[in-house]
Structures are given as C-alpha cells and as structure tokens.
C-alpha cells in the first residue's frame, strides 16, 4: 500500500478539536495521532462510559490536553455543548456493521443520517473551521442499509455547498475500505474463533475487499484537513484481498499463538449475509467523470464548483483519474498474496 506520510504542515497546532465516536478504533487512533501535533485540546465524544474509562487509562499523562465527554450525536443539546469553541471536527461516530444495520434500519437512520445532520447544523451554527466525515466504500453504489445510510451522510456533507451562506465551516469526507483490526472487524473475530473453537466461519472465500490498517486510515483522515477546500471525498488507493486468503493468513498467524496447528483449524462456509456484496468499489460509475487522482489517492470533486482543471491546481500532483484498468474495483485491482497478507496482518494490533 502506498504511504500517506507525505509532508503536511501542522494545521492542528494550538487548535481545539472534537472527535465524535472518539473511543472507537478509528476515533481513538485519530486522538493518538493528533496528540503528536501539539493541539490545544482534543475532546473525545462518545456514548460508551466503559470505553471512555479505558481510554483515560490508556492516555494517562495526557489529561491536560484531553477532555472525555459522554454523549450521543443524536442528542443535539449535548453535542452543542461539546462543539462550543471547536476549530476542527472529526466525525467518526456511526453504526457500521452490515448485519445489524440490515435488521435495525431505523437506528442506522438515527445515527448515520440524523446524527450526521446534527453535526453539520451545529458546526455551521458554532463557526467550526473544518469538519471531516468518515465514510466507507460501501457507499459507492450501495446495496446495504449501512451503505445507503453512509451515502446519505456523504450527500449531506456535500450539500453544505447549497446553504453555506456566510458560514465559514467547510466539509469533506473520506471513504475507507475494510479497516483491518478495527473493533468488531474480521481479524479479531477470526483470532477469537481460532483460540476458543478451533473453527472459523467464512461467508464466501471468493469475496474481495479493499483493505487498510487503522494508522493508514487515520493518516488519510488527517491529510484531508489540509487538502480539503470543501465538499470533496478523499479515497486512499488500497490493495484488495480475497476473503479466503485473509482467513488462511490469519490461521497461519493466530493458530500457533493459540498453541494449535494451522492444519487443525476447520473452516466452515456460512454464505453471504443480507446486504453484502461479493466485490466492492471505491467509486460509483456516475462519479468517475469528476474524479482526480494522485499517486496514493482518488479525490472526488464536487460537481457544483469549478471544473477538474481548477481542482487539479489545488492538490499537489493531481490529474484527471484514469480508470482504464478499473483499479477502483476490488476484483480488478491487484490482490495481495497470502504471504503479503501475513506480513500485513503481523503489523495489526487490537
């Protein structure tokens, strides 16, 4: 995977920053990386009391620069209090699991759509400088409730162009692939199954997914603050992998750690779940015409503003995206080998 560690001016120095969903895998890594950039204070906003408590222990010694705020983005009054005086917002709070969103669609709407609208409204009201929303490749031509709700959240962010008025806040999104090792994701599940049951469950070994690590995902989020001029979607160019190969690599790594032979671990195929695609895509077909690319990312520019030529001048090294090889499709981009996956998975902690 290409590096995202290009030179970036310290746009966070001395700033007051709010991270919604700040106790989650992505949110807590955003906090961790922000603390290396000399902010004035980082406010961690999330619902889970126990995760707040754990994070307070993990970040002992940083009490002067951290504020832990228990709250829900569905609660506008509580969110307003958390956002007062904030310069930058990272909006990471969301319902993110495909099966749960399929069976609880009203809850997905309340959090992923209405909660996002709350973030937007209050950021405008309170004159926040920049807001970066975290989305997913499942928003590109979605089939699941999760994908539809995240696409709607993206469209809310992009639609701020139409009612900006005299407000200074700018909004942009980043799209993630599958974040290896994030809470509730595949690798922690596989490790638990290998350790406790000696059997892993797989939906479909032929599935392909774009993959990234938590630090890579957060690196993209932080870069978006510097790069964004408003209403863009930033998408890291990621490798893809077959689900069956991810499972084989996980077994090869985690079985010996559990005192078991990889050959003894059984694999049970359970079939795809409601809302799941066989393959993913980073961009929808209708988005291709307004996409730029750099060496390591795609930049989806807003259709309402100036043309691609203007935007290409804004982003260093950006050119009109070339999709001849269809590398934005997970079944067309080069797939990681099992050996490459094993090397990558060894770097993942959870």
Is residue 168 within 8 A of residue 127, CB to CB? The reply is yes
Give me the mean pLDDT over the 112-123 stretch.
Answer: 98
pLDDT at position 305 is: 64
Q: How far is CA 218 from CA 57, 175, 247, in A?
A: 22, 11, 24
* 3 state DSSP class of 156: helix
The pLDDT, as a whole number, for residue 3 is 40
Is the pLDDT at 2 greater than 80? The verdict is no
User: Can you tell me the mean pLDDT for 58-79?
Assistant: 97
Lowest average pLDDT, out of 3-17, 114-128, 144-158, 314-328, goes to 3-17
Q: What angle do CA 126, 131, 136 make, to 5 degrees?
A: 145
3-state secondary structure of 300: strand
152: nearest Cα among 192, 97, 111: 111
Quick: pLDDT tens for 11-41. Answer: 999 999 999 999 999 999 999 999 999 999 9
What's the pLDDT tens digit per position in 93-102? Answer: 999 999 999 9
Within 10 A of 97 (CB to CB), how many other CB atoms are there?
13
DSSP H helical ranges for the chain: 25-34, 49-58, 76-83, 98-103, 105-108, 115-125, 145-158, 186-196, 214-227, 243-257, 308-314, 338-346
Give whole-number Cα distances, 326 to 147, 288, 334, in Å: 21, 11, 10
Q: What is the mean pLDDT of residues 259-264?
A: 96
Can you give the pLDDT at residue 313?
75
CATH superfamily of 16-177+211-238+281-322: NAD(P)-binding Rossmann-like Domain (3.40.50.720)
Note the pLDDT of residue 5: 42
Higher pLDDT, 140 or 168: 140
DSSP letter assigned to residue 109: I
pLDDT digits (tens, 9 = 90+) for 186-199: 999 999 999 999 99
| CA dist., res. 118 & res. 93, Å (int) | 12
Can you tell me the mean pLDDT for 268-283?
A: 95
Q: Which residues contact 137 (CB under 8 A, 6 or more apart)?
A: 175, 176, 177, 210, 235, 280, 281, 282
Cα dihedral across residues 337, 340, 346, 348: positive or negative: negative
Task: Give me the mean pLDDT over the 80-87 stretch.
Answer: 98
Q: What pLDDT score was predicted for residue 200?
A: 97
Can you give the pLDDT at residue 118? 98
Arithmetic mean of pLDDT over the chain:
93
pLDDT of residue 84: 98
pLDDT surpasses 60 at 246: yes
Decide if pLDDT at 1 tops 70: no
Give the pLDDT confidence of 277-296 residue by residue, as tens digits.
Answer: 999 999 999 999 999 999 99
Catalytic residues: 138
pLDDT for residue 258? 96
What pLDDT is recorded for position 161?
83
81 pLDDT band, cuts 50/70/90, is very high
Helix axes 145-158, 115-125, angle to 10 degrees: 20
pLDDT at position 10, please? 87
């Amino acid at each position: 995977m290409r590096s995202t560690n290009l030179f970036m001016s310290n746009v966070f120095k001395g700033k007051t920053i709010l991270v919604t969903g700040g106790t989650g895998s992505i949110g807590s890594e955003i906090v961790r990386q922000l603390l290396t950039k000399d902010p004035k204070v980082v406010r961690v906003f999330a619902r889970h009391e126990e995760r707040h408590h754990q994070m307070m222990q993990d970040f002992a010694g940083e009490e002067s620069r951290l504020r832990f705020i228990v709250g829900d983005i569905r609660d506008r009054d509580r969110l307003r209090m958390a956002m007062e005086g904030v310069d930058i917002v990272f909006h990471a709070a969301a319902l993110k699991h495909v099966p749960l969103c399929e069976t609880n669609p009203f809850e997905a709407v309340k959090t992923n759509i209405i909660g996002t609208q709350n973030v937007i409204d209050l950021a405008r009201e309170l004159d926040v400088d920049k807001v970066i929303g975290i989305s997913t490749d499942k928003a590109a031509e979605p089939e699941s409730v999760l994908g539809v709700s995240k696409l709607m959240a993206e469209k809310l962010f992009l639609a701020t162009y139409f009612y900006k008025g005299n407000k200074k806040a700018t909004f942009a999104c980043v799209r993630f692939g599958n974040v290896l090792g994030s809470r509730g994701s595949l690798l922690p599940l596989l490790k638990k199954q290998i350790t406790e049951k000696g059997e892993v469950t797989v939906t479909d070994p032929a599935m392909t997914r774009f993959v990234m690590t938590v630090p890579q995902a957060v690196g993209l989020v932080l870069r978006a603050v510097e790069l964004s001029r408003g209403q863009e979607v930033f998408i890291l160019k990621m490798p893809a992998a077959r689900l069956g190969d991810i499972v084989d690599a996980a077994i090869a790594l985690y079985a010996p750690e559990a005192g078991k032979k990889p050959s003894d671990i059984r694999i049970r195929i359970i079939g795809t779940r409601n809302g799941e695609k066989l393959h993913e895509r980073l961009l929808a077909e209708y988005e291709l015409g307004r996409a730029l690319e750099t060496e390591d990312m795609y930049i989806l520019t807003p259709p309402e503003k100036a043309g691609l030529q203007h935007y290409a001048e804004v982003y260093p090294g950006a050119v009109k995206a070339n999709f001849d090889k269809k590398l934005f499709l997970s079944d067309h981009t080069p797939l990681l080998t099992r050996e490459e996956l094993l090397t990558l998975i060894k770097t993942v902690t959870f």
